[in-house]
Amino acid sequence: MIPALALLHGFTGSGRSFDHLRDPLEARFRILAPDLPGHGASPDATGWDDALDSLAAALGPDPFFLAGYSMGARLALGYALRFPDRVRALVLESGSPGIADPDERAGRKFEDEALATMAEREGIEAFVDRWEKHPTLATLRNLGEPMATELRERRRQNRVEGLASALRHLGSGAQPSLWKALVRLRPPTLILAGERDPKFSAIARSMARAIPGARLRLFAGAGHAPHLEAPDEYVTAVLDHFTPREGTRP
């Protein structure tokens, strides 16, 4: 039986965000690529716990491999902590365990609420324009065609109300801090980040130190989205990690 691989996209993405990687990945896996809450055809986000429950219902109880990017990596981490027996191995790309400091977390929640309100007021076109100028995404402006156009079109196909709900309920301000829980993360874990993304490469290093047995891979020429900026290297890293090794779970 072909093993299943669930791919969780980032904010403003959809289940189609990994379409450019399907050919090499489908040679080894049955791909599960759900639209996360507030994205694509999924209903609005209503809360962190609700999102994990909806993922559990969509992905089923049988063990699978799990990879997530950015917001999807944060949800993948939460899922692996809640349902450790369902995750055979885990890849976290440009993710975070959340914000440990309560005051900083509250400040981020306030910022996300302001951004959600702006999105609702200005509409999807203006919001996507603003989002693509975010400093964290700067290296994505160098994507070639047709990938750059496809990425923008996927973003614009989301509902602005859905994205606003994701900011309010799935943003870093709404997410509980998982830093202290990293020590009990059970699935074999690979952490990915781009060296041109200093914030998340630093977070990746801290996570790798905190998670027992975690492996770290930094992509020299990539920023926040190695699966887009260095797709061949990303696939190689993922396939290598999801190949069973002695002493790991199959």
Strands 189-194 and 87-93: parallel
70 within a domain of the structure (yes/no): yes
pLDDT at 158: 97
Nearest to 84 by CA among 92, 76, 95: 76
CA atoms lying within 13 Å on the CB side of residue 84: 11
- Kindly state whether residue 68 falls inside one of the protein's structural domains: yes
* pLDDT score, position 243: 86
Whether 250 maps to a domain, the answer reads no
Asked if residue 249 is part of any domain, the answer here is no
247 within some domain = no
Domain annotation covers residue 182? yes
CATH of the domain at 78: 3.40.50.1820
Residue 210 has pLDDT above 70, yes or no: yes
What is the mean predicted confidence (pLDDT) over 219-245?
Answer: 93
Is residue 1 predicted with pLDDT exceeding 50?
yes
Q: Which domain holds residue 161?
A: 4-241
**Percent of the chain as helix, strand, coil, to the nearest 5:** 50, 15, 35
* 64 lies in some domain: yes
Would 211 be classed as within a structural domain? yes
What's the whole-model pTM score?
Answer: 0.95
- The SS3 of residue 91 is strand
Residue-wise pLDDT for 13-27, tens only, equals 999 999 999 999 999
Domain count, the chain: 1
